[in-house]
A and B are shown apart, each in its own frame.
Chain A
Amino acid sequence: MTTGTTGADVGTDAATDSVLACRDVVKEFHVAGAKVVAVDRVSLDFPAASVLAVVGESGSGKSTLARMLLRLMPVTSGSISFRGQDVTHLRGKQLRTYWSQVQAVFQDPFASFNQFFPVGGLLRRSLALSSVGREEADALIEECLGYVGLTPAQALNKYPHQLSGGQRQRVMLARALMMRPKVLLADEATSMLDATLRVNVLNVLHDLKDDLGLTVLFITHDIGQACYLADRVAVMEHGKVVERGSTEEVIFAPRADYTKRLLADVPDLRGSLKRRG
């Protein structure tokens, strides 16, 4: 199924300037007495100022991997390093510092807001927790909203339900950026958006990578989005990385059977239209 490797994971990236990296990461769950290996010896590197897409179907383990990288879930075995430092077992203040450096945006922006408070309150609260002063906070909020193409007037006094889906997701991006992270982890961050909004949010992510040197881990089930945005792609199946490489290699010259099957199942808009014989 894979490309001729002996281990569970297919090779590793040869990047030397990785901001974030994981080595042989395993996550096991025990369900009703049975052991389920959700992530099976995955090693990945995240080079600075690049977008790595992790592509896979439901249950492939991509979100579990993301949660371990975010240190929201302990690894069963393996290690995670951030800027050369092992962060696998960080605790307390050091872990909080790590969290400020590695920010995440999830699928449903609405679920991340408190609906009873305006967006400005949410953003200021995030900064207050980081001991940033009020004036400094306002300047930072304005700066970060600017990165995602919003002005304070458009967002701060609005309640979450008054924003469109795309605006909500961009506010979540701004919130993540306020911590001046080195890594942004986007877990299906554009899946709930309409097609026309999705392209715009992907463009924002690309701009952030270029302008701020952000490293983006883009987790998606949609190989088309990876094709549009990513520099490199890793394909996951049943907890393992079955193929990895540059976007061109993986999407246009796939070697793993699973990648080929995944690509073959993507409906082709202009290709074989409806064919009922």
Chain B
Amino acid sequence: MSTTGASGTPAPGPGTGTPTLLARAVDVSAVYGGGDRDFTAVDRVTLELGEGEILGLAGESGCGKTTLGNSLAMIANPPLYVVEGTLEIDGERIDLTTLRGDADLKRQRPYRGGVVSMLPQGAMNAISPTLRVRNLVHDVMRAHDRSVTRDEALDRARDRLTMLEMPVRVLDSYPHQLSGGMKQRVITVVSTLLNPRLLIADEPTSALDVSSQRMLVEMLLAMVEQRIMSGVVFVTHDLPVLSQVSDKLAIMNAGTIVETGPTEQLVHDPQHPYTRKLLSSVLDPTQETRARGRDRRTRSTPAGGDL
């Protein structure tokens, strides 16, 4: 586990064959409310992720994918409570429940950010507009290790940017001087400076143009390749992006995982009706989409349907 190591040297590249198990989330349940009117947003979800793998977690708005991501990253805040579930990672079993308040948070603190890092939705908009990126880098590293000096933090960031073939000058930029795509890549680099074992990336590509999306996806693949982190849970509603980046897919609906499997198998031979529906809704610029558009009149909107 390379949570506090200052060198930032990545582990050797991935091996071949079946990957060894990196993390297993078991029976994770999360509710909003915590009182008589609980709403179960995540319902006994179990997931597995191998070393060097990217797991794509897909589903529509409100299916619970962000809540599951927050639960795994141990950043659930009231009114969200994780009522059940563990995360096994590197042989350690972390209790994810948050019902006991401060005691739980204290217990989980050593794992947050270091072992499991979260890249929340819209993270690129969270960079302070009045600080240069270099200040953010130092703040993030110091939050986990008070002994880190400014120079050490910047050296680590420079090494990392160079490794990922990104311009080092971004460290001297203010957020408004960076494009949306660059901001998102910078915040991704910053959130992985501590070499987390597992990165949970929530909709990292959703606000980006296709060209910026591609750059971010390629960067994430390179980061896993170079073992900056050992695994990624990539949360998004965008199936085409996931199909490019994921080794495995998990399709979520109404708080449960309805289907999971290797990406290729799931995309080409979906078993669950919901997965099929989701895949058939993808509009990519192909002859097939064009043909569907042409004969759409035969499948017009049902009057009064709950769209």
A residues lining the B interface (CB < 8 Å): 57-58, 146, 148-151, 154, 164-167, 170, 194-204, 206-207, 210, 221-229, 247-248, 251-252, 261-263, 265-270, 272-274, 276
Contacts and interface: CB of A to CB of B under 8 A. Distances in A.
B307 A166 contact: yes
Given A195-B237, A200-B305, A223-B285, A270 B300 contact: no
B37 interface: no
Given A170-B307, A267-B240, A198 B283 contact: yes
A55 B45 CA distance: 39
B186 to A, nearest CB: 17
Contacts of A225: 283
Contacts of A263: 285
Contacts of A58: 180, 209
Interface stretch (B89-97, B131-139, B164-172, B291-299): B291-299
B43 interface: no
Contacts of A227: 283-286, 289-290, 293
Given A248-B290, A265-B214, A267-B244, A224 B278 contact: no
A146 B303 contact: yes
A195 B60 contact: yes
8 contacts: A57-B211, A195-B281, A196-B60, A228-B296, A252-B290, A266-B240, A274-B247, A276-B221
B146 interface: no
Contacts of B241: 267
B268 interface: yes
Given A150-B304, A165-B61, A273 B267 contact: yes
B267 A268 contact: no
A197 B293 CA distance: 15
- Please classify the interface of chain A as helix (H, G, I), strand (E, B), loop, or mixed, using the class held by over half of its residues: helix
B237 A194 contact: yes
A266 B285 contact: yes
A266 to B, nearest CB: 5
Interface string B60-73: 11000000000000
Interface residues of B, number: 50
B60 A267 contact: no
B210 interface: yes
Contacts of A251: 285, 290
A261 B211 contact: yes
A265 B293 contact: no
Contact of B297 (A206, A229, A248, A262): A206
Interface of B: 60-61, 180, 209-211, 213-214, 217, 221, 225, 237-241, 243-247, 263-264, 267-268, 277-279, 281-287, 289-290, 292-293, 296-297, 299-307
Contacts of B221: 276
Contacts of A221: 209-210
Contact of B239 (A195, A197, A261, A272): A195
Given A195-B282, A224-B289, A274 B245 contact: yes
Given A149-B302, A227-B286, A268-B244, A200 B263 contact: no
A265 B210 contact: yes
Contacts of A200: 301, 305, 307
Contacts of A262: 210-211
Contact of A269 (B225, B247, B277, B284): B284
Nearest to A150: B304
Contacts of B284: 224, 227, 266-269
Most buried by B among A58, A165, A222, A247: A58
A266 B208 CA distance: 12
A199 B301 CA distance: 9
Given A194-B61, A207-B297, A228-B290, A270 B267 contact: yes
Contact of B296 (A148, A206, A223): A206
Contacts of B283: 195, 198-199, 202, 222, 224-225, 227-228
B27 to A, nearest CB: 27
Q: Which 6 A-B pairs have the closest CB atoms?
A: A166-B307, A195-B281, A224-B283, A267-B240, A228-B293, A194-B60
A228 B292 contact: yes
A273 B263 contact: yes
Contacts of A228: 283, 289-290, 292-293, 296
A197 B283 CA distance: 12
A263 B214 CA distance: 12
Most buried by B among A195, A207, A265, A273: A195
Most buried by A among B238, B301, B303: B301
Contact of A268 (B61, B240, B303): B240
A261 B305 CA distance: 38
Contacts of A268: 240, 243-244, 284
Contact of B300 (A146, A167, A207): A207
Contact of B304 (A154, A229, A252, A261): A154
B267 A203 contact: no
A195 B301 contact: no
Most buried by A among B263, B267, B285, B302: B285
